[in-house]
Chains A and B, each alone.
Chain A
Amino acid sequence: MPDLAQFPEGVQTPPRTDSVRRRGPTRLRAALASLAYLSREGVLGFWRNGLMSVAAVSTMLAALLALGGALVSLWNLQALATRVEAQLVVVASLRDGLSPAEVEAARAAAAGLAGVQQVVLIPREEALRRLEQALGGVQLREAVRRNPLPHTLEVRPRTPQDLRAVAQSLRSVPGVEEVTYGENATDRLLALTRLVRAAGAVATLALAAVATVVSTNTLRLTVLARQHEIEIMRLVGATAWFVRWPFVVEGGLQGAAAAACAVALWTGFYPWAVGKLQEAWPFLPVLTPGQVVLPLGGVLLGAGVGLGLAGALLSVGRFVRL
């Protein structure tokens, strides 16, 4: 060994770094340099810990795929519920023998009620024609001498919840004889759509929670695998954020990678699945790929990155309490 009594000559001492708070441009420059270094460390860590990264990414991928499934189902069920609800109308039969002016007055009065979105007058002739059609093209005209059907108003409420109130107030409109909205069936249908929405939301939330727990645990493993490194960083005087940041960057990257895979898989799968479904049940109303893929991609990407960041913060936190 050479004689080591002195630090070699001509080597200057760098500016001391024993103050965390620096001021002005120096501080900013140092912060930027550190941030660049830390981010690079995070990216390097992603590659260096190959197997761990694969484990973390695939766990999060599984979680995100499930979350995607839940979302796609939820959205479709909601669309279905909305469509069913939109078909709910209140039918008001008008008294027999009203003059055209009285019919028009009733229509206008109905349209002016609170909670009413649209009122369509179905003249009795039209009603008969529809009935004939519904019965398979029977010529009722020949069977009955006189059209027994009344003029009716089809009243569409603004929201399905307004249905009952609209029906109630329609009863007091002059010229209205009878109001029906399929009370029991409609109430049950509305309860069902409410249930579908709530269940879908709960299932999605539960899946999101599971995804968070699973991802955090996997990321905790990657942190555990590098406890040694963390210990050394702390030993030489790294601040808590300096220790955390590379893991946070790494977690974010893992989340983004998992999300990219999940988005790619769903983008391929959903149109295929919709095609198959419509082949089997053409009448089934499903959201088109165009309606689903973009928002799903956005949500999954956000969820993936969020999962990675939150998971990394949560799992590194307990090791960095100095």
Chain B
Amino acid sequence: MPLIELEGVSKVYPGGRVALHDVSLSVEEGEFVFLVGPTGAGKSTLLRLLYREELPTRGRVRVAGWEVHRLKPRAVPLLRRQLGVVFQDFKLLNDRTVYENVAFALRVVGTPPEWVPGQVRAALELVGLVDRQDAFPRQLSGGEQQRVSIARALANRPRILLADEPTGNLDPETSWEIVKLLSRINLRGTTVLMTTHNKTVVDILRRRVVEVQDGRVVRDEVQGRYARPRAVP
């Protein structure tokens, strides 16, 4: 069974804007998928359906065995513990240290206190930020902040990592570092879905590419590039 599966999913926002139109997509455990397409194409909406920030207007969404499209509100936290989510703007708590930001995610899901320090350290080692654990977010560079947010997303050892434009605010070199990190996380077995506008990264990595345009999947390639290959004249 695929780890993530969308079947005939449409999303119409109140007011009539159609964000997704009859989208079907299936992702196996362990895959690394780039979601590409112009701004407003529906990539972020697709991710939001997966962690049930939005409900589909039509169609089925299955994630890690959960029927997300008809998940009861009280089960939503359980679904989200299977997912890590990373954003363009990091969403860190600025009044807490790096350590506290990561520990927060663990405490919030009821991790026994004695387990917290070890897990935080493991997550910070994974992203290479153990020596900055007492720093506050504003004392870190953009790339470091994004690594903290990745550590937080991974602290609960989710099966799936969703990254919505994780390199959107970063310079090319730092972007590359972040993508390499996500790639290594993927090698550990975590399924990664990443939306991006970063052509270079997609073209170098040559992973699965799903292109969304006007709310439809227009391309799905196993070792794809950022743009559809043009016919050679």
Looking across the interface, which residue of chain A has its beta carbon closest to that of B177? A1
Q: Evaluate whether A34 and B110 lie within 8 angstroms (CB atoms) in the complex, with A19-B78, A236-B80, A237-B78 already known.
A: yes
Q: A48 near B: Cβ within 8 Å?
A: yes
A238 touches B188 (CB 8 A): no
Q: Report the minimum CB–CB distance from A52 to chain B (whole Å).
A: 12
CB < 8 Å: which of A12, A33, A234, A242 contacts B113?
A33
From B116, which residue of chain A is reached at the shortest CB distance?
A: A14
Question: Which residue in chain B gives the minimum CB-CB distance to A13?
Answer: B157
Q: How far is the CA of A15 from the CA of B109 in the complex (A)?
A: 12
Among residues of B, the one whose C-beta sits closest to the C-beta of A226 is B93
In the bound assembly, the distance between CA atoms of A240 and B80 in angstroms comes to 13
Number of interface residues of A (CB under 8 A): 38
State which size class the interface on B falls in: 35 or more
| Given A11-B118, A17-B81, A240-B74; A233-B177 close (CB under 8 Å) | no
Instruction: Report the Cα distance A14→B115, complex, angstroms.
Output: 6
Question: Closest CB of chain A to B124's CB: distance in Å?
Answer: 10
**Cβ contacts under 8 Å, B73 to chain A:** 240, 321-322
- Residue from A6, A8, A237 within 8 A of B80 (CB atoms): A237
Binding site of A, secondary structure by majority: helix, strand, loop or mixed? loop
B30-50 CB contact bits vs A (8 Å, 1 = yes)? 000000000000000000000
Interface string of B175-215 (1 = CB under 8 A from A): 00100110011011000000000000000000000000000
Inter-chain contacts of B74 with A (CB < 8 A): 20, 239-240, 322
- CA of A15 to CA of B113 in the docked complex: distance in angstroms? 12
Cα distance, A239 to B156, chains bound together (Å): 15
- Contact residues in B for A146 (Cβ distance below 8 Å): none
Contacts known (A232-B93, A236-B105, A321-B73); A18 close to B81, Cβ less than 8 A: yes
Whether B108 contacts A237 by the Cβ 8 Å rule is: yes
Cβ-based interface call for B61 (8 A): no
A1 touches B119 (CB 8 A): no
Interface residues of B in 111-140 (CB under 8 A from A): 111-113, 115, 118-119, 121-122, 125-128
- Provide the bound-state CA to CA distance between A20 and B119, in Å: 20
A residues 230-254 in Cβ contact with B at 8 Å: 231-240, 242
How long is the Cα–Cα vector from A249 to B33 in the complex, in angstroms? 43
Q: How far is the CA of A156 from the CA of B50 in the complex (A)?
A: 79
Whether B188 pairs with A235 at a CB distance below 8 angstroms is: no
Is A191 at the interface (CB under 8 A from chain B)? no
Q: Are B91 and A232 in contact (CB under 8 A)?
A: yes
Is B227 in the interface zone, CB < 8 Å from A? no
Cβ-defined contact, B127 with A18, below 8 A? no
Q: Is the CB of B109 within 8 A of A14?
A: no
Q: Is the CB of B127 within 8 A of A236?
A: no
Inter-chain contact B108/A11, CB cutoff 8 Å? no
Say yes or no: B128 contacts A4, CB within 8 Å.
Answer: yes
A7 within 8 A of B: yes
**Contact between A30 and B110 (Cβ–Cβ < 8 Å)?**
yes
Asked whether, in the complex, the Cβ of B76 is within 8 Å of the Cβ of A2, the reply is: no
Could you tell me if A236 and B188 are in contact, using CB atoms closer than 8 angstroms?
A: no
Q: Cβ of B118 and Cβ of A233 under 8 Å apart?
A: no
Residue from A11, A15, A231, A239 in contact with B77 in the complex, judged by beta carbons closer than 8 Å: A239
- Are A237 and B188 in contact, with the CB atoms below 8 A? no
New contact pairs (10) apart from A4-B125, A231-B91, CB-CB < 8 Å: A1-B177, A3-B184, A7-B126, A34-B107, A236-B104, A238-B109, A240-B77, A242-B108, A242-B110, A322-B76
Interface residues of A (CB under 8 A from B): 1-8, 11-15, 17-20, 29-30, 33-34, 37, 48, 228-229, 231-240, 242, 321-322
Please, could you name 11 A-B residue pairs with CB atoms under 8 Å apart, sorted by A?
A1-B177, A4-B181, A5-B187, A17-B111, A17-B156, A33-B113, A34-B107, A236-B105, A236-B108, A236-B109, A237-B83
4 smallest A-B Cβ distances: which pairs? Answer: A237-B80, A14-B115, A237-B81, A238-B108
